[in-house]
Structure 1
């Protein structure tokens, strides 16, 4: 079976899924940030509008104590500064004590009667809300402003937490998908190997049959007429080599070069000794093992496939 899920394809699939996951996670966190800051802006504007209406009443009544108390309550929450101005004159200017906030220049251009809509400006770390109000006293009257700065710490923390959650889920999902792909690849590889091992072609490759002689190269088992023989590793190598080339004659030098490659001091006597011992083991199931491993005078040895009929006659 042709492998359709290779290491390269799994890696490519992983890169594509990772890039797609990052893109989706970035889009989702961007939408969440927009929604979170939109809600933050609406709530801040509502809170500033309520404060502005109350401040307008307190200014008309001259109740500066209530105005200051309400401003302090704003600063105790998410407010960073509260400023009420009439033209260039600051009626109230309270800040939370942060050096960066204390250094801010909060003066705005004078607001005309046309500019009566509240406005919001999102800066780094805060939201500036400006709400126009009518300020009237004995000296002058006109359009003033209530200017409040709200910290976006909570909204920013919500966005960061959501981003961590989304990217964590994305990374976890990607890891699970990659593990599943690797597991599937290994299962398919194992099935392919098992199928190749169990296939008739594979069986024919590992099992050598020469007449009544059967050699299993995987289990190193040798059977002659269904009788299992016990061979040493060198005997097994010699018999397997001759069986793979049945009918072909090999000299002592040929066998030394093929089977005794690591033995520097091996000689033809070692070949003859191994042939002799191998014939003795074959003699357990065959009366005349020289009919299996045949001597070719002046040339060497060859293996003749034994038949069960010939062995029974023996």
Structure 2
């Protein structure tokens, strides 16, 4: 089966994991299941799935911590599942690099729809599929900040900045339209897609995470500016596209 269809489920409830595996298999995906976080990390490295479904409650590693570890070494989309429906867990999960969050119980149809949406978005945003128009595939430079669309790499002076795939896409979109103000809804559509199941709070979380990584003082940002009552804009001074 095509590598692009690989889904890794990290879930310690065997019945739940098997139901998801069987449903996704019938839907055309190649699925593997890990019941422990350590096993999930091993499969991530050896099998190279295209999306992870991650439960927050695991017997060996806290799901939020596992999400952080995964994001430190991979840009694979992460969809969190949790019986913990509190806003704090959702913010933490998204803040540590997850791309989506679903609360148990959930519909298998909705799970499949979200997985499909994230995979389509990943394929559309892959460097090899970018339009070769000089800006979309080139380097954007704003003083010390450089954004390389072809390599999915961001650097600040001599330091490489580690961003998740969605963090990169959000930063790149705003930088590509420097000076233009976007609402949260518009950013959600542009980066996650119009069929995204996410909400506007996702944008707030991601903007904060990006600021923590590229701004000297995140409370007084140089690049990602808040336009109160409207949304956000990128303001990095004069830029050049190579």
Q: TM-score category by the smaller chain?
A: 0.3 to 0.5
Q: Specify which structure has the higher proportion of helix.
A: 1
- Structure number with greater Rg is 1
Query: TM-score, normalised on structure 1?
Result: 0.31
